[in-house]
C-alpha cells in the first residue's frame, strides 16, 4: 500500500488516541501470571499485541475477545506446558523479551525467534541475567541474539543487568519475578534508557497486587507472591498521539487528541514539552489535550532518553523550525525495529533536510524540503513520522504504508477522517 501526502496549512481537527501498546503488553503478560480471569478493558489490537497473544497461546495461555476487551485466563504463576514450545515474535521486540521472561518459569525449553531484523537485535543482557538467576539460555545462531532457547524454572535471587540497551530486559524480569522462589533483587550496572517504561511496568504490577521496591534508580526488589486477577483499563497512547500534535505544530492550527491522561506515566508525554519549547501552546481539557501552533517554530535542545518512540516525530517537526534542534539520549534507537537514527538521516536527507549525527545525538538544521519517496523499511514509526513531513512539505509518497499496523492500525483512516488525506 502506498500513501501520498499533500501540503496542509491551518488544520483544525479532533482525533481519539488508540489504547496504549506498551500498557496493553504489560497488562496481558501480568494478567497471564495472575490467579483467575482478568479483563483488559479497551486493549489495543495491533500487529505487536497479536504477536504477544499468539506467543501466550504457544505457552498454553488462553485469551479471548469480548468486544473491545480481552479476557485473560491466568495460570497462577505456573505455565500449563506439557513439552517444549516455540514462540515467533515477528518484529515485536516487546513480545519476544516479555515472553522470554515468562519462559523463565517453564521447566521445558522455550525457543523464541522472530524476523530477520529481530534476529539482529540483542538479547544478551537479558540472557546473562536469566542464567545468573538459575535458568539455562542457548543461542541457536548468533551469540546474544535470537533465536534463543530459555529453560527454567529459575530460582530468582540477586542478579545484575545492563540498563543502557533496553528497559524491556528489566521489565521482562520484573513481571515474572513474583513467581520466582526467591523473588528478585536486580541491580543495574549502567543507567537505564527509557526509564519511564520501568515506571509503567511497576504501576501495572502494583495494580495486579505486587509492589516493586525501588532503591534509587539502579536497584529493584520484588518479593515472592501472586498476582490477583482484576479488571484493568488501558489508557490512550501518547506515542500514537504525538503524530497529530506534530501535524498541528508544522502545519499550524489546532489539534485536539482525546482519550489521553494528562498525568500519565508514559514517557512520551515529554514530546509536548519539546513542542512548547519550540513555540506551541498546550492545554488539557478533561481527557483531551489541545495543541495550538501558528506554524512558526524555534529550534531547541532536549534529552529524549525517556521518550524514545517520539524521537523520529520530533525530528520531523525540527525540519520545519527556524533554527537547529539537537536531540540527545538516543543511542539505543539503533536497536529498534530498524536503526532509527539511520532512518532519520535517510528520510530527512532524501527529502532535502540537513542532519548531523553523533554517538548519542542528532542535530537537525532546517533546509528547504522537497517532495519524494520514503521507504520506511517496515518500521511503523518511520512511516508515521514521514507522514508529518509530507503534510508539512507536500508531495511525499510513503511505500509499504501498511507497516503502521504494528502499533496503530487506524492511523491512515484517522488522517482521512480528519480530512488530512
Q: Contact 324/355 with Cβ under 8 angstroms? A: no
User: How many Å is the Cα radius of gyration of the chain?
Assistant: 21
First to last CA, the chain: 14
- In the 8-state DSSP scheme, what is residue 288? E
**Per the domain annotation, does 229 fall within a domain?**
no
Cell of 213: 521496591
Q: Is 8 found in the same domain as 110?
A: no
Q: Is 43 found in the same domain as 27?
A: yes
Q: Is 14 found in the same domain as 33?
A: no
The domain boundary, picked from 173, 198, 221, lies at 221
The domain boundary, picked from 171, 193, 221, lies at 221
Rounded to whole angstroms, how far apart are CA atoms 262 and 260? 6
Decide the pairing of beta strands 288-293 and 281-285. Answer: antiparallel
| Domain residue limits at 114 | 21-221
Q: Is 116 found in the same domain as 10?
A: no
Q: Is 263 found in the same domain as 211?
A: no
- Mean pLDDT along residues 347-375: 95
SS3 state of residue 337:
coil
**Per the domain annotation, does 227 fall within a domain?**
no
Q: Is 76 found in the same domain as 56?
A: yes
**Per the domain annotation, does 228 fall within a domain?**
no
**Per the domain annotation, does 388 fall within a domain?**
yes
- Mean pLDDT along residues 401-407: 97
Closest CA to 187 of 155, 148, 159: 159
Q: Contact 200/307 with Cβ under 8 angstroms? A: no
Query: Taking 90 as the threshold, does the pLDDT of residue 194 lie above it?
Result: no
**Per the domain annotation, does 162 fall within a domain?**
yes
Q: Phi first, then psi: give them for residue 244, nearest 5 degrees.
A: -75, -35
Q: Residues with catalytic annotation?
A: 309
Please give the C-alpha separations between residue 421 and each of 196, 277, 388, 408, 413, in angstroms, as whole numbers.
33, 29, 12, 17, 9
147 prior amide bond cis, ω within 30: yes
**Per the domain annotation, does 81 fall within a domain?**
yes
- Mean pLDDT along residues 169-185: 98
The domain boundary, picked from 173, 193, 221, lies at 221
Q: Contact 3/398 with Cβ under 8 angstroms? A: yes
Question: What is the pLDDT, as a whole number, of residue 306?
Answer: 86
Rounded to whole angstroms, how far apart are CA atoms 130 and 124? 10
Count: domains in the chain: 2
Q: Is 266 found in the same domain as 206?
A: no
Q: Is 267 found in the same domain as 294?
A: yes
Span 283-315, pLDDT tens digits: 999 999 999 999 999 999 999 988 889 999 999
Q: Is 12 found in the same domain as 34?
A: no
Reported as a pLDDT band with limits 50, 70 and 90, residue 217 is: confident
Q: DSSP readout, 388-412?
A: HHHHHHS-EEESSGGGGGGT-TTHH
Span 16-49, pLDDT tens digits: 999 999 999 999 999 999 999 999 999 999 999 9
Q: Contact 225/203 with Cβ under 8 angstroms? A: no
**Per the domain annotation, does 226 fall within a domain?**
no
Rounded to whole angstroms, how far apart are CA atoms 123 and 127? 6
User: Which residue blocks in 104-192 are alpha helix, DSSP H?
Assistant: 124-132, 167-176
Rounded to whole angstroms, how far apart are CA atoms 369 and 351? 6
Mean pLDDT across the chain:
96
Q: Is 245 found in the same domain as 182?
A: no
**Per the domain annotation, does 315 fall within a domain?**
yes
Q: Is 319 found in the same domain as 300?
A: yes
Q: Is 38 found in the same domain as 86?
A: yes
SS3 state of residue 114:
coil
Rounded to whole angstroms, how far apart are CA atoms 310 and 304? 8
Here the CATH number for the domain that contains residue 129 is 3.65.10.10
Span 100-119, pLDDT tens digits: 999 999 999 999 999 999 99
Amino acid at each position: 500500500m502506498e500513501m501520498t501526502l499533500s501540503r496542509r496549512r491551518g488544520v483544525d481537527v479532533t482525533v481519539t488516541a488508540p489504547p496504549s501498546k506498551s500498557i496493553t503488553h504489560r497488562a496481558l503478560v501480568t494478567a497471564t501470571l495472575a490467579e483467575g480471569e482478568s479483563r483488559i478493558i479497551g486493549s489495543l489490537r495491533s500487529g505487536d499485541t497479536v504477536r504477544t497473544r499468539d506467543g501466550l497461546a504457544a505457552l498454553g495461555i488462553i485469551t479471548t475477545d469480548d468486544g473491545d476487551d480481552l479476557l485473560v485466563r491466568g495460570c497462577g504463576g505456573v505455565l500449563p506446558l506439557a513439552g517444549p514450545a516455540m514462540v515467533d515474535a515477528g518484529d515485536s521486540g516487546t513480545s519476544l523479551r516479555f515472553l522470554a521472561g515468562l519462559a523463565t518459569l517453564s521447566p521445558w525449553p522455550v525457543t523464541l525467534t522472530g524476523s530477520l531484523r529481530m534476529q539482529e537485535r540483542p538479547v544478551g543482557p537479558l540472557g546473562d541475567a536469566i542464567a545468573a538467576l538459575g535458568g539455562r539460555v542457548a543461542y541457536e545462531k548468533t551469540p546474544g541474539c535470537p533465536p534463543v532457547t530459555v529453560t527454567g524454572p529459575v530460582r530468582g535471587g540477586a542478579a545484575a543487568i545492563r540498563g543502557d540497551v533496553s528497559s524491556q530486559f528489566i521489565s521482562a524480569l520484573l513481571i515474572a519475578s513474583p513467581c520466582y522462589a526467591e523473588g528478585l533483587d536486580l541491580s543495574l550496572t549502567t543507567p537505564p534508557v527509557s526509564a519511564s517504561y520501568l515506571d509503567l511496568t511497576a504501576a501495572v504490577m502494583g495494580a495486579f497486587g505486587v509492589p516493586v521496591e525501588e532503591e534509587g534508580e539502579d536497584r529493584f526488589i520484588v518479593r515472592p507472591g501472586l498476582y490477583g486477577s482484576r479488571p484493568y483499563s488501558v489508557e490512550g497512547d501518547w506515542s500514537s498521539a504525538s503524530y497529530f500534535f506534530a501535524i498541528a505544530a508544522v502545519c499550524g492550527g489546532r489539534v485536539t487528541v482525546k482519550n489521553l491522561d494528562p498525568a500519565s506515566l508514559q514517557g512520551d508525554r515529554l514530546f509536548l514539552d519539546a513542542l512548547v519549547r519550540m513555540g506551541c501552546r498546550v492545554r488539557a481539557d478533561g481527557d483531551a489535550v489541545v495543541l495550538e501552533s501558528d506554524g512558526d517554530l524555534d529550534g531547541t535542545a532536549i534529552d529524549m532518553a525517556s521518550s524514545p518512540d517520539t524521537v523520529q516525530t520530533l525530528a520531523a517537526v525540527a525540519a520545519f523550525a527556524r533554527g537547529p534542534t539537537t536531540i540527545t539520549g538516543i543511542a539505543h534507537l539503533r536497536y529498534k525495529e530498524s536503526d532509527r537514527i539511520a532512518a532519520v538521516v535517510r528520510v530527512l536527507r532524501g527529502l532535502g533536510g540537513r542532519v548531523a549525527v553523533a554517538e548519542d545525538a542528532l542535530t537537525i538544521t532546517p533546509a528547504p524540503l522537497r517532495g519524494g519517496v520514503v521507504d520506511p523499511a517496515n518500521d511503523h514509526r518511520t512511516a508515521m513520522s514521514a507522514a508529518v513531513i509530507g503534510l508539512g512539505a507536500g508531495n511525499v509518497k510513503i511505500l509499504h504504508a501498511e507497516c503502521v499496523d504494528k502499533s496503530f492500525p487506524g492511523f491512515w483512516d484517522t488522517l482521512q477522517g480528519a480530512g488530512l488525506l
